[in-house]
Amino acid sequence: MESLISLLFMISGSVALQQDVQAKLGADVTLQCQITTDERISVLKWSRADLNTDGYVYFYRNKRSYENYQHPSFHGRVKLRDPEMKDGDVSLILNNVTFNDTGMYECHVAVRNPVRSKRVHTEISHFINLTVTALQLDVQAKLGDDVSLQCQISRDEIISVLKWSRADLNTDGYIYFYRNKRSYENYQHPSFHGRVKLRDPEMKDGDVSLILKNVTFNDTGMYECYVAVRMPVRSKRGHTEISHFINLTVTGESLPCPQIAPLAHFKNT
Ligand SMILES: *[C@@H]1O[C@H](CO)[C@@H](O)[C@H](O)[C@H]1NC(C)=O
Ligand SMILES: *[C@@H]1O[C@H](CO)[C@@H](O)[C@H](O)[C@H]1NC(C)=O
Ligand SMILES: *[C@@H]1O[C@H](CO)[C@@H](O)[C@H](O)[C@H]1NC(C)=O
Ligand SMILES: *[C@@H]1O[C@H](CO)[C@@H](O)[C@H](O)[C@H]1NC(C)=O
Ligand SMILES: *[C@@H]1O[C@H](CO)[C@@H](O)[C@H](O)[C@H]1NC(C)=O
Ligand SMILES: *[C@@H]1O[C@H](CO)[C@@H](O)[C@H](O)[C@H]1NC(C)=O
């Protein structure tokens, strides 16, 4: 890495760029990397320093890519945005990002320069700092409504734990707690007793949405849907944890403009 950095400083006219990119859990993200048009690519390596011992994110040399040099967690999840790398576009598309994809990606390109150039060979590195953030959904409800807090995981996972919670209430219990095929009312925060139920008691197709009845202003807050799943047998990973967040705002029914004054007022009651 150090030699690479010093090398970068020696190459006149090329700069180590760094770009910050944010992506939501499950999204497809494009890691952009572009070199100038008239260079011929001999090697393209997409990598992450923290994974280097187990392989590259993407490796290309002599006009072909090598899957056997690829880190297992990227198998089947990456492709070049332009398979022909036209106009020097060596951007990579990473599908269905997980929290583990957070990290510093390096796009390293070795090019043979056109004959007229003085330098025969150039190496270029761009860096992309990818941050994968949780899904967050903003939901508005009117006082007294029944509201559905949506949360969905993929259908073939087996749910071992489901916890609906609000960080500001955590010391007094969960909104909903489920483990080993049953829910536990004694772990529930008192203000939710008798007011919550699963939209689908069987959680079919991974639907772990919660229905919250007769909302009050006190129900305003950030809800976390946390699911621990055991993966299907054929999967390599044994266990995954997923969190989705729902930002619920309860507004007054007959107030035309409830944002500022009424909420401030109710916070004090
Ligand atoms: C995305 O990845 C998750 C696990 O991280 C998996 O359960 C889901 O099926 C994947 N979705 C797609 C569309 O590949
Ligand atoms: C993330 O990585 C950890 C440890 O490497 C692993 O246990 C976990 O299953 C991974 N999670 C996902 C969603 O890939
Ligand atoms: C990467 O981005 C995240 C959030 O955008 C930031 O907190 C972090 O400091 C960045 N890391 C580096 C090495 O620039
Ligand atoms: C809804 O909650 C309020 C108190 O917050 C209560 O007075 C009212 O009876 C409840 N309505 C229903 C239909 O449960
Ligand atoms: C809202 O919370 C406050 C303080 O926790 C409590 O005194 C009040 O009764 C609650 N209001 C409703 C409608 O639940
Ligand atoms: C939650 O939603 C409200 C209104 O939609 C917004 O004002 C607030 O900033 C959101 N909170 C967060 C943490 O995103």
- In order along its 269 residues, the chain shows pLDDT tens digits of 434 443 333 343 445 578 899 888 888 999 999 987 667 899 999 999 998 788 999 999 988 999 999 999 999 999 999 999 998 999 999 999 988 999 999 999 998 876 666 666 788 899 999 998 877 789 999 999 999 999 988 766 789 999 999 989 978 899 999 998 899 999 999 999 999 999 999 998 889 999 999 999 999 999 999 999 886 666 655 677 788 899 999 998 644 444 443 333 333 33
| DSSP character string of 208-236 | --EEE-S--GGG-EEEEEEEEEEPPTTSS
Instruction: Look at residue 7 in the predicted model and tell me its pLDDT.
Output: 38
> Which residue, judged by its Cα, is nearest atom 4 of ligand 1?
98
Instruction: Look at residue 234 in the predicted model and tell me its pLDDT.
Output: 61
Q: Which atom of ligand 5 is nearest to the CA of 191?
A: 14
> Which residue, judged by its Cα, is nearest atom 4 of ligand 2?
100
CATH ID of 18-133, from 3.40.50.2020, 2.60.40.1120, 2.60.40.10, 2.60.40.3140: 2.60.40.10
User: Which sequence spans correspond to the domains of the chain?
Assistant: 18-133, 137-251
> Which residue, judged by its Cα, is nearest atom 11 of ligand 6?
247
C-alpha 171 to ligand 2 mean position (Å) = 28
Instruction: Look at residue 237 in the predicted model and tell me its pLDDT.
Output: 58
Question: Mutation test of ligand 3: which of 24, 129, 133 has the most ligand atoms closer than 8 Å to its C-beta?
Answer: 129
> Which residue, judged by its Cα, is nearest atom 3 of ligand 6?
249
Fold match between domain 18-133 and domain 137-251: yes
Instruction: Look at residue 6 in the predicted model and tell me its pLDDT.
Output: 35
Q: Which CATH superfamily is domain 137-251 in?
A: Immunoglobulins (2.60.40.10)
Q: Which atom of ligand 3 is nearest to the CA of 22?
A: 5
- Ligand 2 pocket by C-beta < 6 Å: which residues? 98, 100, 237, 240
| DSSP character string of 102-155 | -EEEEEEEEEEPPTTSS-SEEEEEEEEEEEEE-EEEEEEEETT--EEE--B--T
**25: CB partners within 8 A, 6+ apart:** 97, 98, 99, 132, 133, 134, 135, 242
C-alpha 26 to ligand 1 mean position (Å) = 7
Burial class for 25, CB neighbours closer than 10 Å (0-12, 13-18, 19+): middle
> Which residue, judged by its Cα, is nearest atom 5 of ligand 2?
100
Whether the predicted model's global pTM rises above the 0.75 cut: no
